[in-house]
Amino acid sequence: MERLRVQIILDIIYRLRAGQSERAIGRDLGYARDTVRRYAKWAKKSGYMDSGSSLPELENLQVELPPPVRKSNISTVEPYCDVVKTLLEQGVEMITIHKRLVRNHGYTGSYTSVRRFVSHLLPDDNSAVVRIETPPGQEAQVDFGGAGKMRDPKTGKFRQAYCFVMTLSFSRHQYVEFVFDQKIKTWIGCHRRAFESFGGVPKEVVVDNLKAAVIKASLDDPILCEPYRKMAHHYGILIHPCRVRTPEHKGKVENGVHYVQRNCLAGQEFMDIDDANREALRWVSEDAGLRTHGTTREQPLQRFYGTEQAALLPLPVEHFELFEVRQAKVHRDCHVEINAAYYSAPFKYVGEKLEVYVFERVVQIYDGLNLVVTHERATRKGQRITRIEHYPPEKSIYLTRPREYCRQRAYSVGPRCGEVVSALLENRPLDNLRSVQGIIGLAEKYGEKRMENACARALHYGDPRYKRIKDILKSGMDMQSTEHIQQELNLRFYEFARTSSDFFEPDLSVVNVEVEPC
């Protein structure tokens, strides 16, 4: 270590005798506190610190310092270097790295040691940045953050909680709410309550690539979740998704989440999540709202009420209400079940899971981003809301072709066809409606003329069944000449053309033959 000049040593002795601390001397003179301490020990040992002694002359000053004790340059974090590098690649913050080293690996060092070690691993970032400041009412930034476990008042059990934070970019005024999940319904509900707490709506909202907000994260072509897009349209706001792994693009709310975690949550014990939300409401309006912000150098609430609130968009007359978002399986009957009611979906989705958005008056079923169908919301349990076109064509016939339709359609084909259909419908006790619907289908397939001839032939032979008529059409027997069919119709099938005497004469001689018993 390089020795100090005599003038500096004398200045250190003078300051020490004046009562200045070693830390303050090092700060004023630009030397390390350890250096000042070494010279303070030498001065005391040499008797220069006594109040009655005089300061030594420059030419008589003899400084003999013991050699400095070299400290180990090996960090206590070095054995965990691979673990730290892995956590850094995953984007874990340094304070969390320290906690995980202590909890999972038995590390006993301080957080400062971890921070110092990480600073040597990370390259120096000397790139220029642009600090973006937005006008009043222009932008809000939104994010979720972990809030530890809180008691659920409904079940009495502790669950993982999350902190929803919306920060207005101009004033830094916040809305904070603790919730138990990050589902779409919760996400949209937090937005609605945040807007109501502000008394207005910002023109733009910057969001992270949360699945409740963004389905596809992309700089060039991001895709918003459909309910979130509808909410944005309802309030008239623009949504700006961040680029992937760039939290600095919404640094105001990122810092806000950390501020909530370090100040509103740190060292606090809440009865349950409702108690935590009451404390968050007080904290936002007092502690956080009345502090002097480190960037704006103003109080967030003063900046909000004085300038920003008047610049927000007005709240719509009706608030956006999304009751529920669920995944539901399309069953074999082409319906999904939501809250004990049933809604139809096209038969091609049988066996698949679709997303169902339950609104106040309607229910919408989505396949990814594609709207499949919109139904009116059921008013009672067990109600079935069905569209006939959602069934396969061959199975929907039973619903779309009732008895009277089939009878009228048959007579429009011809009198013989009408006679066949009427006979089948009047037959008891067997219900032949499906057979009749099949006959109508054959008329559409083979044509009305052939159908009428086939029915006439079936009536002639006394077998006007669907299967018989279908066989006649398939074999082409209906296309035989009309005269041949008319001759058969004029001929009674139970009469013989000749009598039995034309075939044989009885032998009367064998009538009186006696047969002897055995």
Contacts of 141 (CB under 8 A, 6+ apart): 166, 167, 169, 205, 206, 207, 250, 252, 253, 256
pLDDT at residue 305 is higher than 90 = yes
pLDDT at residue 222, as a whole number = 41
pLDDT at residue 501, as a whole number = 61
Query: DSSP characters for 424-487?
Result: HHH-SSS--HHHHHHHHHHHHHH-HHHHHHHHHHHHHTT---HHHHHHHHHHTGGGS-HHHHHH
| The amino acid at 478 | D
Q: 272 or 394, which is more confident?
A: 272
Residue with tokens 């199975």: 395
DSSP category for residue 262: I
Here the tokens at position 473 are 């059409």
Contacts of 179 (CB under 8 A, 6+ apart): 161, 162, 164, 186, 190, 273
| The amino acid at 143 | D
Most confident of 170-179, 227-236, 290-299: 170-179
pTM of the predicted model as reported, rounded to 2 decimal places: 0.49
Contacts of 172 (CB under 8 A, 6+ apart): 252, 256, 293, 295, 296, 300, 303
Q: 401 or 477, which is more confident?
A: 477
Q: Can you give the residue ranges of every domain in the chain?
A: 1-71, 78-121, 139-311, 322-392, 401-490
pLDDT at residue 267, as a whole number = 58
* Residues β-bridged to residue 224: 214
Q: What average pLDDT does the chain have?
A: 79
What is the arithmetic mean of pLDDT over 379-400?
79
| Nearest partner of 110 among 98, 120, 94, 122, judged by Cα | 98
pLDDT at residue 217, as a whole number = 38
What is 139-311's CATH number, 3.30.420.10, 3.20.20.70, 3.40.50.1470, 3.60.130.10? 3.30.420.10
What is the arithmetic mean of pLDDT over 149-159?
91
Binned at pLDDT 50, 70 and 90, residue 173 comes out as very high
What is the arithmetic mean of pLDDT over 139-147?
85
Tell me the per-residue pLDDT of 184-223, one tens digit each, with 9 for 90 and over: 788 888 999 999 999 999 999 888 755 544 444 333 334 4
Binned at pLDDT 50, 70 and 90, residue 308 comes out as very high
- Alpha carbons 25 and 22: distance in angstroms, whole number: 5
In this prediction, what percent of the chain has a pLDDT beyond 90? 18
Q: 45 or 176, which is more confident?
A: 176
Tell me the per-residue pLDDT of 464-497, one tens digit each, with 9 for 90 and over: 888 888 988 988 888 875 555 555 555 544 455 5
Tell me the per-residue pLDDT of 212-223, one tens digit each, with 9 for 90 and over: 444 443 333 344
What is the arithmetic mean of pLDDT over 291-302?
85
pLDDT at residue 169 is higher than 70 = yes
- CATH 2.40.50, applies to 322-392: yes
Please give the C-alpha separations between residue 312 and each of 53, 138, 295, 458, in angstroms, as whole numbers: 72, 7, 22, 80
